[in-house]
Amino acid sequence: MNAITETRAETRRKRGRGMAASWYGIARTATIDRAGAWAEIDDGGTVKIVTGVTEIGEGILTVLAQVAAEETGTRPEDVTIGDNDTARSPEAAHAGATRQTYMIGNAVALASREAREVLFEKIAEYWEVAAGALRAFDGEIWAEGSNLRMSMADAVAICKARGTVPVGSASFTANGTGLDPEDGRGSPWQTYVFGTQVAEVEVDTWTGEVQVLGIWAAHDVGRAINPRGVEGQIEGGVVQGLGQALMEDYVTVEGHAETHGFAKYILPTALDVPQINCVIVEDEDPTSPLRAKGIGEPALVPTAPAIINAIYDAIGVRITALPATPEKILAALRLQQP
């Protein structure tokens, strides 16, 4: 490529950056949200958790195993999440609205704490110490300020030998005022998450094509139970937002789909995914026993606005209907010309 060609390429390609911020409510209170769970510290120091949770790929089973392990003092690999058939398990309500970690995670945490307290009470009697002095971690239980220590497996055996099965149950709900039917005032959500994203794009003014070069995403998730999982949720949300901003054109006419299938429906592929830089902000939630909030849909919300703002920064035209296809960009550029 000679110098003239390089100059022309630089002239036709414009770079810009855009930013967007968002908030998202979790745990509705205008209508009652709730979740229940059962927990048992079982033979061998293992833990059984039963709840009606639905795993749809977001990693909630891993999170619940981590929560139960921390609360009972066992290892995540020793936790079994039981059948989620609501005919045999407590209700956990739906999988959506970024509520899984917040609602079901807290229910599992509280149930696990109750099971642990039952176990601690019996072991405290066995050791003749105060239950408040007991601690458990990584499959062991001990009494602070002493040499008393044993495995969780031995502790469960002693507890059962004394006629008690260490089980717990709990329900967690969102507490709010509801909405006043007259003026709409109230507390529709129990907690909120916040996020900001910055997008850098390059726009080809000859073809209208937009390439997203990078996304910087900072999100408040409360306490991050599984930081790698949080990053995965943010990255997945960003890719969805990129598709919404630039590619996916789902057409409806009078409520009926006119998009017939995926054959010509453009979706982001691995080649379209830019460098995504995640920043996890842990503003712990005081209303949550886990101090966690959530991150699912909130990761998607700021992406498209940030990209559209970046396009405006690059070429000075505002796209007001998604997706920002090359045809729309070229049409906007032609209108901009004198």
Assign residue 233 the CATH number of its domain: 3.30.365.10
Residue holding tokens 């709900």? Answer: 173
Q: Which two tokens stand for residue 33?
A: 């949200």
Question: Considering 70, 121, 282, 297, which one is annotated as catalytic?
Answer: 297
181 within domain boundaries:
no
- The answer as to whether 311 is a domain residue is yes
Residues 238, 278, single domain; the answer is: yes
Q: Is the domain of 40 the same as that of 164?
A: yes
Q: Is residue 124 part of a domain?
A: yes
Q: Are residues 229 and 168 in the same domain?
A: no
Which of 126, 141, 173 delimits the end of a domain? 173
- Give the whole-angstrom CA distance, residue 157 versus residue 88: 27
Number of domains in the chain: 2
- Residue 97: left (phi > 0), alpha (psi -120 to 50), or beta? left
Residue 71 annotated among the catalytic residues of the structure: no
Beta carbons of 59 and 228 less than 8 angstroms apart: no
178: in domain: no
The last residue of one of the domains, among 173, 202, 226, is 173
Provide the CB-side half-sphere exposure for 72 (13 A, CA): 38
At 5, the amino acid letter reads: T
Yes or no: say if 301 and 117 are a contact pair by the CB < 8 Å rule: no
Residue 203: give the domain boundaries. 3-27+190-336
Q: Is residue 113 part of a domain?
A: yes
Same domain, 41 and 11: no
Residue 227 and residue 139 share a domain: no
User: Do the domain assignments include residue 329?
Assistant: yes
Domain boundary among 120, 147, 173: 173
Distance CA 142, CA 288 (A): 27
3-class DSSP string for 82-149:
CCCCCCCCCCCCCCCCCCHHHHHHHHHHHHHHHHHHHHHHHHHHHHCCCHHHEEEECCEEEECCCCCE
Does residue 249 sit in the same domain as residue 318? yes
Any domain includes 304: yes
Together in a domain, 232 and 164? no
Same domain flag for 331 and 214: yes
Please give the C-alpha separations between residue 207 and each of 20, 100, 143, 211, in angstroms, as whole numbers: 26, 43, 71, 12
- Please indicate, yes or no, whether residues 33 and 143 belong to a single structural domain of this protein: yes
Same-domain check for residues 92 and 215:
no
Are 97 and 28 in contact by the 8 Å Cβ rule? The answer is: yes
Same domain, 55 and 7: no
The pTM (predicted TM-score) of the whole model is 0.88
45 and 165, same domain (yes or no):
yes
Range 83-116 burial, b when 16+ CB lie within 10 A, else e? ebeeeebbebbebebbbbbbbbbbbbbbbbbbbb
pLDDT in tens, the chain (338 residues): 555 555 555 678 999 999 999 999 988 776 788 899 999 999 999 999 999 988 888 889 999 999 999 999 999 999 999 878 888 899 888 777 788 899 999 999 999 999 999 999 999 999 999 999 999 999 999 999 999 999 999 999 999 999 999 999 999 988 766 677 888 787 788 889 999 999 999 999 999 999 999 999 999 999 999 999 999 999 999 999 999 999 999 988 999 988 888 888 899 999 999 999 999 999 999 988 999 999 989 999 999 999 999 999 999 999 999 999 999 999 999 988 76
Domain membership flag for residue 139: yes
User: Contact 49/61 with Cβ under 8 angstroms?
Assistant: no
Cβ-contact 29, 178 below 8 angstroms: yes
